[in-house]
Homo-oligomer: A and B are copies of this chain.
Amino acid sequence: MRGFFEPETVAVVGVSNAPDNLGRTISMNLQAFDFKGIVYEVGPKGGALYGRRIYHSVDDIPDHVDLAVLLAPASAVPEIMEECGRKGVRRVVVESGGFTEFGEEGRALAARVKEVAARWGIRFIGPNGLGVINRPLGLATSFGILDPSVPAGGISVLSQSGGVMLSILNTLTSEGLGVAKLVSMGNKLDVDENDLLEYLIEDPETHIICLYLEGISDGRRLMELARRTDKPILLHKANIGSAAGRVAASHTAALAADDRVVDAALRQVGIARFRSTETLMHYLKALALPPLRGNSLAVLSRSGGHAVITADDCELSGFELATLPPEFLESVQQRFRAKVVRLTNPMDLGDLFDLEVYGDLAQATLAMPEVDGMVFLHTYVSGYEGPRSEELFRRLHRISLETDKPIAVYANTAAAEVTRLKRVLPGPIFDEPSDAVQALALLRDFGRGTAPSAERPDGPADTAAVRAILARCREEARDPLLQEAMAVAAAYGIPCVEGRLVASEDEAVAAAAALGYPVVLKVVSADVSHKSDFGGVQVNLRTEAGVRAAYTEMLAAVRSRVPQATIQGALVQPMAAAGRDLIVGAKFDPNFGHVVLAGMGGIFVELLGDTALRVAPFGRRTAEAMLRELRVFPILEGRRGQAPADLGALVEVIRSVTRLVTDFPEIAELDLNPVRVHESGSGCRALDARMRLGPATA
């Protein structure tokens, strides 16, 4: 990938001296950014531009060419690519549009471009993008005019949209945040985000990587790459709506919609997700500060109102306001003539008009071991206290570096002065008290839940038994039935309630007698998924007469409500002992592979929405973390007079499901729901199971 970012010679193809020619702007940008290499212009009409020759073709350039930037009509691109190949160009940026967006013709052109490139060993970025910026080298291939005043720095950006890249660049410029490399990747016909990400991870000039993606090319590779680096990776994954309204057969599939899988996967490898340029800026500003090592903040504010607002924001973000020891407060009061300030946290500096004392107080407070970070809110009139305030901000930055703790600074003054400060100050400035707190919260939570590695959990695995069941289903071109799904689960060590398949009232009565009353009856049919919705479950049957009546009634109910259903029979199960009903499930995601879900179970799973999701495989610690994530966790642990549930047994079920889908990738969906979890020490038991098979991918 280096060839794209560090060319010595660049050919811009598609230049003319017509005033509306977009190729010209690429040359202008290279000039404005002070590109350190040589630029050649190419255009079929030839001529001259700014006293420089426009070559008729790439062949005519009297020099080797490291990088060609193409902005010709789509139909001409395959031929130009051919020319580049002959000339020995091995890196090309294709900015032309019209490839895959407008049907048949575009797709055919795209295929030809790929073919030519592959034949010559050319790697290319695009089409339909703005190409590459390497700020330190002055490389800027955009056909939109760029503002060259963006400072050089450690932030790199990969964007699938040129417009979004430009808006990020505009905002970075006005926030005074410095950039290294930016790529507008366009349609990703050849080079994709993972190729570029791999390069940026190694690039010494890049310290933070931002991505804007509408589609993820290869989720598992993205996860692998992210696991490899310590550099912060921030991702805006847009296009969340594709799953909306899709009908899912299982609870797990409904709850593990594509976008939730993306969320889980990113969190698992410590990629921070953002949804707006504003939040991205909060992240970038936060990452410009020293690390936040704890959850305890101090708030210093000249305006009492902002102190109150910030205390609110701290509470809403889960921060604690550090309790400052009275000895400290006393000594501070004596040392810094701060008699008019009530030294609490938040600290209202309102009646103190000496900005030097503000700095003294900030320094003394941040030095306290009880304080992990600070929000400093300064209100002033720039015409009156401008220079003194700027000196205060610089001092706060030094204090932050010296103590190695973050200070998030909010400046409440005229907007123009805030804009100026963002350009000249070494540290970031926040536009709202809530932004400052949100940034510290992002800094605190960043990379939380990073999984060290992806391991297949060990444990019981009767692969032969599972293979046999799945083969039979595949032969009969159907999904596993209830009792088959239970058998698969049992083969991987998941405790399941006993069950007998029956085909008549008499068989049902016999099974009930053998299992012992009370029993449950469940309809077995490949055509009836949500059984209880159609009268397909009868519980608490205590007598033979009850079983007979329930059997007849159940079958009649199902037949009347799902007339087309083929009914294979019924399953008789003993009533399970009391406990908490949870769900454990899995789903195959085309991009990330299998995901495993655990949460509050029953038939209201989607309504409660209390579930945790992870990309498989993962180890025991992750399974435990999933349970801790649930709102229901305190109850499982045994709060409010309840006995604690057997969480260890539940963790084993999660591990078994993970193992099962790792071994059998063809399992498209699996619901164990409910898994009834008994009191600690008494284990748990799957009472129902549902499974759908996909293509045999393994």
A: which residues have CB within 8 A of B?
A: 97-98, 101-102, 144-145, 147, 159-167, 170-171, 173-174, 212, 214, 236, 238-241, 244, 275-278, 301-306, 308-309, 311-313, 315-316, 342, 350-351, 379, 381, 383-384, 412-416, 419, 431-435, 530, 532-535, 603-604, 607-608, 631-632, 634-635, 640-641
- Provide the residues of chain B in CB contact with A634, threshold 8 Å: 607
- On whether the beta carbons of A241 and B415 are closer than 8 Å, the reply is no
User: Which of A160, A171, A244, A604 has the most CB atoms of chain B within a 10 A radius of its CB?
Assistant: A604
Instruction: Known contacts A315-B241, A534-B641; decide if A278 and B432 are in contact (CB<8 Å).
Output: yes
- On whether the beta carbons of B161 and A383 are closer than 8 Å, the reply is no
- On whether the beta carbons of B163 and A303 are closer than 8 Å, the reply is yes
- On whether the beta carbons of B159 and A305 are closer than 8 Å, the reply is yes
Given A163-B306, A163-B350: 9 more A-B contacts, CB < 8 Å: A147-B414, A161-B303, A162-B305, A163-B302, A163-B412, A167-B303, A167-B379, A241-B311, A607-B634
Instruction: Known contacts A161-B305, A641-B530; decide if A413 and B170 are in contact (CB<8 Å).
Output: yes
Tell me, rounded to whole Å, the shortest Cβ–Cβ distance linking A433 to chain B: 7
- On whether the beta carbons of A412 and B640 are closer than 8 Å, the reply is no
A534 to B171 CA separation, bound complex (whole angstroms): 58
Tell me, rounded to whole Å, the shortest Cβ–Cβ distance linking A279 to chain B: 9
A533 to B640 CA separation, bound complex (whole angstroms): 6
- On whether the beta carbons of A312 and B384 are closer than 8 Å, the reply is no
Q: Which residue of B has the minimal Cβ distance to A603? A: B640
Q: Which residue of B has the minimal Cβ distance to A410? A: B167
- On whether the beta carbons of A173 and B415 are closer than 8 Å, the reply is yes
- Provide the residues of chain B in CB contact with A415, threshold 8 Å: 170-171, 173-174, 419
- Provide the residues of chain B in CB contact with A308, threshold 8 Å: 161, 214, 238-239
User: Which of A98, A312, A434, A634 has the most CB atoms of chain B within a 10 A radius of its CB?
Assistant: A312
Among B277, B304, B316, B530, contact of A432 (Cβ-Cβ < 8 Å): B277
> 6 tightest CB-CB pairs across the interface, nearest first?
A163-B303, A161-B305, A533-B641, A174-B415, A164-B305, A145-B381
Q: Which residue of B has the minimal Cβ distance to A164? A: B305
A414 to B175 CA separation, bound complex (whole angstroms): 12
- Provide the residues of chain B in CB contact with A534, threshold 8 Å: 641
A608 to B607 CA separation, bound complex (whole angstroms): 11
A520 to B668 CA separation, bound complex (whole angstroms): 46
Tell me, rounded to whole Å, the shortest Cβ–Cβ distance linking A243 to chain B: 10
- On whether the beta carbons of A167 and B603 are closer than 8 Å, the reply is no
A350 to B22 CA separation, bound complex (whole angstroms): 14
- Provide the residues of chain B in CB contact with A384, threshold 8 Å: 145
